[in-house]
Structure 1
């Protein structure tokens, strides 16, 4: 508990002369999640209200003058615990260029129940000096907030700092703007950015509370050379919101309860310059969990340095990263930058594990953790097959793909939802060329610049470009790593339209970015990597090339697999058939026509419809593809069992004799090896549950992954939008009409209209004269935007035609019995060779991934 305050000083500062307004408030029902977090009547206070306490002067650093503290948590609990010794710089003096800003006393007192959000009726105009020509205001935080937190002995706890930035992000430092960490002379080890658009308060609280729990964990590591009790002073959390008119108002209210935002402070124009970003800085001591319950020091929370950047305009996520990397990071010069999307919940120790990867490996330029799909209470979300399939997909990627790439040292993509980078590795060279230059090139390409269709699609996955540029950075030897002990949970699409729209950008971005990295494979040889590491990159490039070719022919491969297996049920070589050859032939023919019809439907709706407008067409298609998959699985299991039984009987159990049979090798060894490795790798990573809860759903939806998602993505390569809306501002060039009530209560308006008869006549004569003029026929020219759209659509047409023709050629070569029989053998021979190649390719790729994951586990034992 804290001692009672000594009497306030006789002399008051400028801020102390303007105490906060007194008020009384009624008791609210605290059982509601939106109840007022602060009791209105503190212990020892009368019900009549309370005044704003005087602020500390610099020469009174050791004098605590807070009133008896209000308990955090349930009624009757003690006051919140102390956070330890305050920082040596805690009582920094206010900058003379940034005067304190506080409203004067109001002559009116409000009695009774006050509204939850009282409108500001009066604002006092005060003269403030600009800081190097910039508007910087220090605004006192609400009294009720201060009485609910333990630390109030420094300006970072008592005042919120507002800066109206009027410059481009890259000019932030050159224009003389500063951040509080500079004034406090603090070293920033971790700089965390949370990017958001219009996410609601629950999603924001999920991410913010998770980050604050991570910071609290850093402060418990008292044996660390870097962290400890005051570790929070080495962490700054930057929240960048993309558009002042786009932010969710309840999220803004949540930020206000943390003390980092105050309404009415921001300005549109400063010294004749429009404000491009509103920057609020405050060190909060409260957190809000997703249930809207407040958590303070009594729940283990520690102070958190917040930097809230509210962009004036909606300029996309990559511009938000420009503010983070080009405006704020150069001033703080952090060691590690962590990128998190609002809605992603980091594990309570995940940020520490990400940071540790950089601490133990000086050559690590970037790292990422596991992205987990949120499965709901007791896994209830897995009842949705779409969520279950994505859960399996995420898990196997984190068990097989990411560990393999981490062993090579190059991860193709560090997910922007939860990843980290070493700030020094991101820097451009003296000529301005480097990773960040390539990364931010996407903003100009998608901002109306002259962008080629290849580059525009490539920068839909700009994080893939950043990863490659880091590894291939000239005269450097940076590597990327996967940290399996760090994870972030995120919501996955649970509706078909949202799922398809998301994957359109992912598939197109990854495809074109993959082609870019493979095309520029020589760049790696200009780096300072060792010869062995460069050769490992070449092996990984070959592996990625094989995967890229496989994905290109995935449409034809899946159809051919279905065609061959369903036809084999009626084959004469199959001794024990599930039904007669006639029935099997009819089923094969009907289902084959259904499959082809579904493919045609996908092209039609992908070329002319949005997923949101064709929801049921896609849902019905997914259901039919799942039914076709069930029949194909039945055919596979039946053929496998009967073939193996016959082979075992013929070979009398001789393993060598069984392996000499092509059917046994192709089906048993390849298929079973693939799925056995899935199970084995999952158990090695001690995370096998998805194999039992999500594997079947993924198998049933795998035709939809191949057919529906790929077709929609390729048919929409001309659409390079990021899903943000255009300018929706209201034009005022024709005038504005405002309604007012007259004495009789009727609404009247003031409008400017021509009333002089001469003006009306002149306008009429001018109109008549205009019709008598003979105009030369105007040659129609396409504007630049129309030309670009036509070029994009033309590219889309050529790409889709090339894709369709190449896959059709593959299907024709295998299935046509008349044209290719002389040169390539009969259908059974061709199909057997082809199916063996496909199955063994899948098995081979799985073996490579399995070996990579095993090596990752071995390296993890020795490197931590």
Structure 2
């Protein structure tokens, strides 16, 4: 799916189009104004803000370097005994002027005019009021309903800008909501707090910091390396702003006195000193900031996710109407772009992107819908999910944070360091989802909110795709085994009998899916070999010719079998001996080989189906294909019919019931050709690299950037606690504006992707576990192939000759996969019926919280 794009605004139309935001291109044609006009004294005048930002591109670079920056006035600051340093820095005049007067009256004037900086020297669990730390929303006594966490690792500024723009749009929708809840207790924007958590300074893109500085939530050269000799663990910046830069590097500001203007956003930036992983970032949100703010709902969003304008509001409604809902996720779609010709069509022509587009749509329409019918979503994607804060506190979060790499080094830590557990926490979005449902003494459940939509970026090349799926597959594999083992905790919960029965059905579904996934390597190989052999090698005495090359077909099939097996062996060699970024050509070739073989097999399946119909419907010449009818009869007509309906019909039914079948026309074909590579390439690479428990980096991302180091002069603290710090605090406004002007220049520059220098892979760990897992995976699948294909095994089994080995294989394989699809279809239908039922109740009651709801339910 593609998301709607903001209208392009030119000089002729910018004054006539009314949109929620104004877009200003970094144009060079606008006449420049003097920097001296933008001073503190003119902040209340009617100067246009866009003139100031165009100034960053209209003034030659030398004009910013000529004026000397005055020596800043300094004064001593003595931190409290808890080694907490918190300072307020005045924001540039342009940011002050962007705030509308009506919002200054609603909020505290200080939050718009001063950037609050806190040098944190404590761990997330020690970020408490008792320790001397405080947050502006708590200080202002605001009840935070939404705490939105945006996790950042090393993404570029376009992805972060896209996410922040969508959050502004969502806050606007919440602010304009007619719900009485949002009208009571102050403006709606004061109940939403957005926190960007950056996972380490080392991987942070300096261009991203420039974007944040333009918004006012970051200031260069004020980060302190230590306070009273205690190293800082994180840097916290707080501001309330109405400025944002979109992904096209256009500045967006509110329109004065317009109904379409954007409300302010309470924004925090937590810049961690060290890279500690995504779970550690969530630890800062839940354990540090969440404990002080006590929000009702915590929403996790990955950088690059673009939310639909009503996504947050629809997600909140689900929690507001269901008191027992602990976690929920929205419908995730692949962001195919804005323009069909320039973005959507090229993306759909990329089989990697198109395949993921189909996969994401099926996941939302079928798989998560089925899981929602049982009350347990096996995965709550970090790209867009919500948690009720009081439901996850306690055991769920304590179990979840055992995967924090920073906790493993802490004394008395319960975090396990074995390879199985570390792989389980690669699927971090699965761990917390499971712990919520099996929390002892509780009856929380999770759900899918299908009308809360979001768009996310996906890998577009084989290297990123393989690396991402390595983490996903190993995390899902370990987490699924853990959930199957720990389902014995289910009786300790207070779920009703009906819910527990549904959860047991889902347990059986997960076990069956795990077994089929394990043997999928042999399943694909046997399906290709047997189908090609039936169509290309008719029995002796038959007048039928081999398809599609006549008498030469057996030779062609033999060559295909050799190429297939050789490519499988190549995958193990590549996975064990190299990295995807070093073997791009080999992996692209492997994807192409399996796609061609898949297409060849599908052609043979179509041929066999046509010949079978000819045999059943026609008398002339039908006896030539009696052997095809024998295969069909021995496998069972019901088996073949159910498999065909479940494999193809379930996707169609899910798309129609969700009123979104377009992926079936645009991406299904690409998925069919790539599907065999999911097993033959992705699974093999994942198991062969189970020893790698890192998250990895995307290609095109710098592993270390030139992010400025912490400024020791600004927050330099003598060794003696009796002395004072020298802190740059009372800065000259003219210097502030001049430095900010230079930052704007850098932030609004078009983004150019850089190619990082090639480096060697990470060190191999847990080789013993990997060797055993890969050996078990290879030999178990190899044994299945030998039993089905090799005639020497027929004397050891009661299945008959090798012909019946093949028949029984197809029976088991087809019924196993059909059972999974039918279970998903049944759960999906139940979910859609439930959604329709509650929609009808909404029409009658207005809300599930309506007092008359119990009456209507009792009548039903």
TM-score, scaled relative to structure 2:
0.79
Provide the secondary structure at the position in 1 that maps to 2:640: helix
CA offsets 1:120-160 (integer angstroms, 9 cap, x no match): 66343312343564211111111122123313551111111
CA offsets 1:784-832 (integer angstroms, 9 cap, x no match): xxxx999811111111111111111111111112331673222332212
CA gap of 1:729–1:47, structure 2 versus 1, over 3 A, is closer
CA gap of 1:699–1:331, structure 2 versus 1, over 3 A, is same
The offset of 1:662, in angstroms, is 4.5
Structure with the largest fraction of helix: 2
Alignment of 1:314-329 (within 5 A): 314-329=275-290
The offset of 1:295, in angstroms, is 2.2
Work out the CA distance in 2 between the residues paired with 1:541 and 1:791.
32
Counterpart for residue 39 of structure 2: 51
Work out the CA distance in 2 between the residues paired with 1:716 and 1:208.
35
Counterpart for residue 828 of structure 1: 803
Selected match of 1:259 from 216, 230, 233 = 216
The offset of 1:633, in angstroms, is 0.5
What do you get for the CA RMSD once the two structures are aligned?
3.1
CA gap of 1:334–1:138, structure 2 versus 1, over 3 A, is same
Whether 1:459 aligns to 2:434 is: no
The offset of 1:397, in angstroms, is 1.1
The offset of 1:720, in angstroms, is 1.1
Work out the CA distance in 2 between the residues paired with 1:303 and 1:36.
29
Q: Is the 8 A contact 2:203 2:703 kept in 1?
A: no
Work out the CA distance in 2 between the residues paired with 1:488 and 1:451.
35
CA offsets 1:237-257 (integer angstroms, 9 cap, x no match): 001111223321111111111
Work out the CA distance in 2 between the residues paired with 1:712 and 1:196.
26
The offset of 1:846, in angstroms, is 1.4
CA gap of 1:718–1:302, structure 2 versus 1, over 3 A, is same
Selected match of 1:183 from 129, 133, 139 = 139
Q: Is the 8 A contact 1:445 1:456 kept in 2?
A: no
The offset of 1:526, in angstroms, is 0.6
Unaligned runs of 5+ in 2: 1-21, 53-58, 410-414, 623-629, 708-761, 840-860
The structure, 1 or 2, with the larger RCO (C-alpha pairs under 8 Å, 6+ apart) is: 2
Unaligned runs of 5+ in 1: 1-29, 55-65, 76-109, 429-433, 731-787
The offset of 1:535, in angstroms, is 1.6
The offset of 1:579, in angstroms, is 4.8
Work out the CA distance in 2 between the residues paired with 1:658 and 1:716.
40
The offset of 1:723, in angstroms, is 1.9
Provide the secondary structure at the position in 2 that maps to 1:707: helix
CA gap of 1:73–1:244, structure 2 versus 1, over 3 A, is same
Q: Is the 8 A contact 2:538 2:545 kept in 1?
A: no
CA gap of 1:862–1:662, structure 2 versus 1, over 3 A, is same
Q: Is the 8 A contact 1:33 1:292 kept in 2?
A: yes
Provide the secondary structure at the position in 1 that maps to 2:298: strand
Whether 1:647 aligns to 2:635 is: no
Alignment of 1:54-69 (within 5 A): 67-69=44-46
Work out the CA distance in 2 between the residues paired with 1:375 and 1:539.
36
Q: Is the 8 A contact 1:643 1:663 kept in 2?
A: no
Work out the CA distance in 2 between the residues paired with 1:148 and 1:639.
69
Work out the CA distance in 1 between the residues paired with 2:618 and 2:631.
10
Selected match of 2:372 from 396, 402, 406 = 406
Selected match of 1:157 from 104, 112, 126 = 112
Work out the CA distance in 2 between the residues paired with 1:160 and 1:285.
14
Q: Is the 8 A contact 1:216 1:301 kept in 2?
A: yes
Q: Is the 8 A contact 1:166 1:276 kept in 2?
A: yes
Whether 1:302 aligns to 2:251 is: no
Selected match of 1:138 from 76, 80, 88 = 88
Q: Is the 8 A contact 1:70 1:148 kept in 2?
A: no
Provide the secondary structure at the position in 2 that maps to 1:824: coil
Whether 1:220 aligns to 2:169 is: no
**Higher CA-based Rg:** 1
Work out the CA distance in 2 between the residues paired with 1:337 and 1:518.
27
Counterpart for residue 571 of structure 1: 538
Alignment of 1:374-523 (within 5 A): 374-376=335-337, 377-378=339-340, 379-380=344-345, 381-428=347-394, 434-444=395-405, 451-523=417-489
Work out the CA distance in 1 between the residues paired with 2:38 and 2:478.
62
Work out the CA distance in 2 between the residues paired with 1:116 and 1:484.
53
Work out the CA distance in 2 between the residues paired with 1:525 and 1:68.
67
Work out the CA distance in 1 between the residues paired with 2:670 and 2:112.
51
- Counting matched residue pairs gives 720
Q: Is the 8 A contact 2:32 2:51 kept in 1?
A: no
Selected match of 2:584 from 615, 632, 635 = 615
Work out the CA distance in 2 between the residues paired with 1:445 and 1:800.
29
Selected match of 2:692 from 719, 724, 728 = 719
Work out the CA distance in 2 between the residues paired with 1:528 and 1:39.
69
Work out the CA distance in 2 between the residues paired with 1:610 and 1:267.
38
CA gap of 1:557–1:672, structure 2 versus 1, over 3 A, is same
Work out the CA distance in 2 between the residues paired with 1:183 and 1:38.
43
Q: Is the 8 A contact 2:24 2:50 kept in 1?
A: no
Whether 1:244 aligns to 2:213 is: no
Provide the secondary structure at the position in 2 that maps to 1:625: helix
Provide the secondary structure at the position in 2 that maps to 1:823: coil
Counterpart for residue 843 of structure 1: 818
Q: Is the 8 A contact 1:192 1:236 kept in 2?
A: yes
Work out the CA distance in 1 between the residues paired with 2:810 and 2:226.
67
Q: Is the 8 A contact 1:648 1:658 kept in 2?
A: no
Provide the secondary structure at the position in 1 that maps to 2:76: coil
Alignment of 1:776-855 (within 5 A): 792-820=766-794, 823-855=798-830
Work out the CA distance in 2 between the residues paired with 1:658 and 1:704.
27
Alignment of 1:195-206 (within 5 A): 195-206=151-162
Counterpart for residue 524 of structure 1: 490
CA gap of 1:116–1:626, structure 2 versus 1, over 3 A, is farther
Work out the CA distance in 1 between the residues paired with 2:491 and 2:323.
21
TM-score, scaled relative to structure 1:
0.78
Counterpart for residue 762 of structure 1: none
Counterpart for residue 27 of structure 1: none
The offset of 1:620, in angstroms, is 0.8
Q: Is the 8 A contact 1:446 1:721 kept in 2?
A: no
Work out the CA distance in 2 between the residues paired with 1:146 and 1:834.
72
CA gap of 1:329–1:463, structure 2 versus 1, over 3 A, is same
Work out the CA distance in 2 between the residues paired with 1:170 and 1:39.
52
Selected match of 1:126 from 75, 79, 89 = 75
